[in-house]
Amino acid sequence: MPNASSIFFSAPKQVEIRESILPPLKADEVRVETICSAVSAGTEMLVYRGQFPQLKDAHDSVSSELMYPLAYGYACVGKVREVGKEVNSEWLNRLVFAFHPHASSFHIHPSSLIPIPDSLKPEAACFLPNMETAVNLVQDGAPILGERVLVLGQGVLGLLTASLLSEFPLERLVTADHFELRRKASLQIDRKVKTFDPSFEEVRKGSSAYAQNKFDLVFELSGSPSALNDAIALTAFSGRIVIGSWYGQKRAEIDLGGAFHRSRIQIISSQVSTISPALSGRWDKTRRFEVAWEALARIQPEKWITHRFSIGEAGRAYQFLDENPQEMIQVIFSY
């Protein structure tokens, strides 16, 4: 029987690699050998640090309670190497994506696999979950011709969201991140993009030239609850704030007693597991995936991969990401 190596979070800041022998393949399953899997830094750092709440994960494929020891991750790309007796042989050797925890090999029902277009490389396909999320964020924000838009946070999700927004005829597109590496990546999206360091006090006070006239639409993607105060301060009357961050157990004081009370600002929660009710009559997950694949081909986000680790180096990878986030954008495990 084939062997499999899997990453497990066993306690806060403790990662181990578990070796196992895969069980016999069921008639309606396939065996996937993983080529690469992407670390979703925002979510997985919450798991690594023990900052996640005791609830079920949003992704259908990871339905167990979030408690240690925990296998996590949801961005595996691999090839189908074996098919069960009841599975169409056309799946064999197909390049596929799976919302599956980090593992070198696994058995799965074909209905849980997404075939990858021939035009995409495996490493580009690893960005599918974040790209689908970025598409969902932009749809929920619904940017309008000529609007001023701000994206707080330029991790992978922020970069993808800003890339999609750069395709709109906006008056202004501005991004913000504390880390210089991410701000440089943001500037390379489009020459029209402006970026700043949100730690500067004048930005919070609204005296920065970037904040002049404030913003019609703000995306909070930094992962920091305190950034909501910046978002509120920089959003215009009747503007929208789309929150795509998952804060886990992190808390911060939010100032809703000042200008916010009279601002008519809308605060919109956005999460990829559902589609906005306003769109669900015309949109489904299949249509959104098609848009995400096309966007991946255009944007080519593999250029943001800064580090590649073998699965055996997982402990070092998470420790480095925890201690040196300013040096990383996207981390990939290779198998």
pLDDT tens-digit readout, 130-164: 999 999 999 999 999 999 999 999 999 999 999 99
Strand partners, 307: 331
Residue 136: give the domain boundaries. 130-269
Predicted pLDDT of residue 61:
44
* Pair 236, 324 in one domain: no
**Separation in Å, CA 75 to CA 56, 98, 117, 197, 238:** 18, 6, 16, 30, 37
- Rounded to whole angstroms, the Cα distance separating 314 from 160 reads 25
Whether pTM > 0.95 for this model: the answer is: no
* Pair 97, 34 in one domain: yes
Q: Do residues 34 and 78 make contact, with C-beta atoms less than 8 angstroms apart?
A: yes
* Pair 14, 140 in one domain: no
CATH code, domain with 41: 3.90.180.10
* Pair 169, 44 in one domain: no
Predicted pLDDT of residue 60:
42
CATH code, domain with 263: 3.40.50.720
* Domain contains 108: yes
* Pair 111, 136 in one domain: no
Length of the chain: 335
pLDDT, tens digit (0-9, with 9 covering 90-100), for 281-300: 999 999 999 999 999 999 99
Q: How many domains does the chain have?
A: 2
* Pair 46, 96 in one domain: yes
Predicted pLDDT of residue 58:
41
* Pair 31, 149 in one domain: no
Low-confidence ranges of the chain (pLDDT < 70): 53-65, 201-212
* Pair 73, 110 in one domain: yes
* Pair 108, 140 in one domain: no
- Rounded to whole angstroms, the Cα distance separating 178 from 226 reads 13
- Rounded to whole angstroms, the Cα distance separating 135 from 129 reads 10
* Pair 261, 195 in one domain: yes
* Pair 146, 32 in one domain: no
**Any residues with CB less than 8 A from the CB of 183 and at least 6 apart, and which?**
154, 175, 177, 195, 196, 197
* Pair 139, 100 in one domain: no
Quote the strand ranges of 3-118, DSSP E. 3-11, 14-21, 30-38, 76-83, 95-98, 105-108, 113-115
* Domain contains 211: yes
